[in-house]
Chain A
Amino acid sequence: MKTPFPFSAIVGQEEMKLAMILTAVDPSIGGVLAFGDRGTGKSTAVRALAALLPPITKVAGCPVNAETRADVPDWAGLETFEEITAPTPVIDLPLGAGEDRVTGALDIEKALTQGIRAFEPGLLARANRGYLYIDEVNLLEDHIVDLLLDVAQSGENVVEREGLSIRHAARFVLVGSGNPEEGELRPQLLDRFGLSVEVESPRDIDTRVEVIRRRDAYDRDHAAFMLRWQAEDAAIRERIVTGRGGLAGLEPSDRVLHDVAGLCIALGSDGLRGELTLLKAARAYAAWRDDTAITRTHVRAVAPMALRHRLRRDPLDDSGSGTRVQRLMDEVLA
């Protein structure tokens, strides 16, 4: 199979790229939701991210990508525990996948052929320590989305079915993409995604020309094109690794906490999920830029993607959610 299109070669779409990078710096931010026009590189960006992410160390053959021998679940039945370096998993969740395929279920093959009750891990196990990608997330059945968001938040998959009782680690970043023409995601599910970005077709000719040129070069002169962008991808990868190291040292000042809380109050968001995500995103952004403190600039930069899907619907205000967050910022952070 062809190597995916390089992340650094994606033209424009800065907000989407930044959101994905921030989750790579700090996976606890929560998922990313990318909604927008068709053919704007949403899936391309996710596939590119898979190739970009720093590799992980895992026990060879472990169904949940455990890092150490102690983390390997008993039901995996491993006999050797060799540690290997593997790419960060980015797992596709196909639409229409049933609950059994997502959470894992009774291994029918073994039940039929050997008469034993064994657990066959599902997609959540494979996505542990990585990413789970759902294209057209708005077409996924609600109960599956709900389940995914629950597991993503708790970091643990609990399977109680067919006489099985299994729990295993399932920490992953959920990335969903979709086209609003085919229906919105319910607000109850929306605000549980950490970040949300709106993706639009580029409006100006020059950007569009560059998109065509790069894609054409990728199709025709694949090896040379990949070589050309390899160094840029490596630079991003290094910055992600540096950023991860810098996270711990970034303590928010009182002033930043006030800004964050003020924004969320003005927004009228329920609960504290908005505040926490905004703070984490601002911290990850500061770490990504290798800055030594979190400031108002960082909060400003990430506020639209952290808050736009938490706005209440206002029937009297049909301006875009990004604009509304911008307006709020101008009022609160004046």
Chain B
Amino acid sequence: MPDLAAPFARACLALDLMRIDPSLGGLRIVARAGPVRDRLAQRLVSADQRPIRLHPSMDDEALFGGLDVAATLAAGAPVMRAGRLAAQGLFLLPMAERIPPALAARLGAALEGGPERMIVAFDESAEDEDGPPAALSDRLGFCVDLSDVGLADAVAPPPGDLAAARLRLRHILTPPDLPQSLAELCAAFGVAGARAPLFALRAARASAAMNDRQITDADIETAAALTLAHRATRSPEPSAPEEEAPEEPRPELESEPRT
């Protein structure tokens, strides 16, 4: 079992899981460009697959294709050019925080239904900036923050046999009480929407397939850490210690005229 506390190992695991089940949608990596991120990007390139690069200002013609005017004029017959989204497989989206909402909506739609597509989004937003639009990030199963990872900690676990795991996936059963516990978990952490628990369920099944077993508690923990943790909007315990400073007498505003 890879160490889930290490963000880099978590990111690698997420990549493996979504290769086993592409309906997990993708992965958002919060990190600036640098050697750590480059090392992760290397892992995206597998023997049979190279990620297709997208960029934040692509227009419809680049995405969906269109008439190739030069070739049409030369050939005297309409020649169409395929867009990037005609392909399937893994897409890489750098500067994901810069994409306009319309593009996010289109990429989000491309992830749903139809052929298998996954998006790895590099979110380079500064601390006070918003990440990519929710129309996209809501449809990516995973999110890992690599911004505080040093190069020494960026140790990638050896990749497992993903092709074999893919074949095993359809034989993994869903434990009858798992939907219940996932729904309760989501409610406790204030995770809205139906996508999150479904991502968690798929991740648990993919994790079990990778380890060649039926779903165990360890798989569920892994899945929850990877798919639910970043969506939490509140802490589950109502008795959690409040981070409020002890009441201090506030200096009254009127009594302190600024000069």
Mark interface residues in B76-106 (1 if CB within 8 Å of A CB, else 0).
1110000000000000000000000110011
| Chain B residues within an 8 Å CB radius of A2 | 113
Asked whether any CB of chain A lies closer than 8 Å to the CB of B213, the reply is: no
Give me the interface of B with A, judged by CB distance under 8 Å: 23, 59-60, 67, 69, 72-73, 76-78, 101-102, 105-106, 109, 112-114, 133-135, 138, 170, 174, 179-180, 182-184, 186-187, 192-198, 201-202
B60 engages A208 (CB within 8 Å) = no
| Chain A residues within an 8 Å CB radius of B73 | 112
A38 engages B113 (CB within 8 Å) = no
Asked whether any CB of chain B lies closer than 8 Å to the CB of A209, the reply is: yes
Among A94, A139, A212, A213, residue most surrounded by chain B Cβ atoms (within 10 Å): A212
Residues of chain A from 191 to 232 with CB closer than 8 A to chain B in the complex: 201, 205, 208-209, 211-213, 215-216, 219-220
Interface residues on A, range: 35 or more
Asked, given contacts A109-B67, A113-B78, whether A96 binds B102 with beta carbons under 8 Å apart, the answer is yes
Asked, given contacts A47-B113, A182-B101, whether A215 binds B198 with beta carbons under 8 Å apart, the answer is yes
B193 engages A219 (CB within 8 Å) = no
B183 engages A208 (CB within 8 Å) = yes
A39 engages B170 (CB within 8 Å) = no
Which of A43, A139, A212 is B101 in contact with, Cβ under 8 Å? A139
Nearest Cβ on chain A to B114's Cβ, whole angstroms? 6
Give me the interface of A with B, judged by CB distance under 8 Å: 1-2, 4, 37-41, 43, 47, 92, 94-97, 108-109, 112-113, 135-136, 139, 179, 181-182, 201, 205, 208-209, 211-213, 215-216, 219-220
Asked, given contacts A39-B138, A108-B67, A113-B72, whether A208 binds B197 with beta carbons under 8 Å apart, the answer is yes
A220 engages B174 (CB within 8 Å) = yes
| Chain B residues within an 8 Å CB radius of A181 | 134
| Chain B residues within an 8 Å CB radius of A216 | 174, 179, 198, 201
Chain B interface main SS type:
helix
| Chain A residues within an 8 Å CB radius of B194 | 39-41, 201, 208, 211-212, 215
Asked, given contacts A96-B102, A136-B135, A219-B23, whether A39 binds B195 with beta carbons under 8 Å apart, the answer is yes
| Chain A residues within an 8 Å CB radius of B113 | 1-2, 4, 47
- Chain A residue nearest to B64 (CB atoms) is A94
Nearest Cβ on chain A to B84's Cβ, whole angstroms? 15
Asked, given contacts A209-B180, A211-B194, whether A139 binds B134 with beta carbons under 8 Å apart, the answer is no
Nearest Cβ on chain B to A133's Cβ, whole angstroms? 11
Query: Roughly how many angstroms separate A41 CA and B202 CA in the complex, as a whole number?
Result: 18
Nearest Cβ on chain B to A2's Cβ, whole angstroms? 7
Query: Roughly how many angstroms separate A220 CA and B114 CA in the complex, as a whole number?
Result: 16
Query: Roughly how many angstroms separate A123 CA and B193 CA in the complex, as a whole number?
Result: 31
| Chain A residues within an 8 Å CB radius of B134 | 38, 179, 181-182
Query: Roughly how many angstroms separate A222 CA and B26 CA in the complex, as a whole number?
Result: 23
| 21 pairs of residues in contact across A and B, judged by CB atoms under 8 Å | A38-B195, A39-B194, A92-B109, A94-B109, A95-B105, A109-B67, A112-B72, A113-B76, A136-B101, A181-B134, A182-B101, A201-B193, A201-B194, A205-B180, A205-B183, A205-B187, A208-B186, A209-B179, A212-B201, A216-B174, A219-B202
Query: Roughly how many angstroms separate A1 CA and B59 CA in the complex, as a whole number?
Result: 26
Asked, given contacts A113-B77, A220-B170, whether A38 binds B112 with beta carbons under 8 Å apart, the answer is no
| Chain B residues within an 8 Å CB radius of A139 | 101-102, 105
Query: Roughly how many angstroms separate A219 CA and B192 CA in the complex, as a whole number?
Result: 21
A43 engages B112 (CB within 8 Å) = yes
A96 engages B112 (CB within 8 Å) = no
A37 engages B170 (CB within 8 Å) = no
Query: Roughly how many angstroms separate A212 CA and B194 CA in the complex, as a whole number?
Result: 7
A1 engages B183 (CB within 8 Å) = no
Among B23, B67, B133, B194, residue most surrounded by chain A Cβ atoms (within 10 Å): B194
B193 engages A40 (CB within 8 Å) = yes
Query: Roughly how many angstroms separate A108 CA and B80 CA in the complex, as a whole number?
Result: 12
Query: Roughly how many angstroms separate A213 CA and B174 CA in the complex, as a whole number?
Result: 9
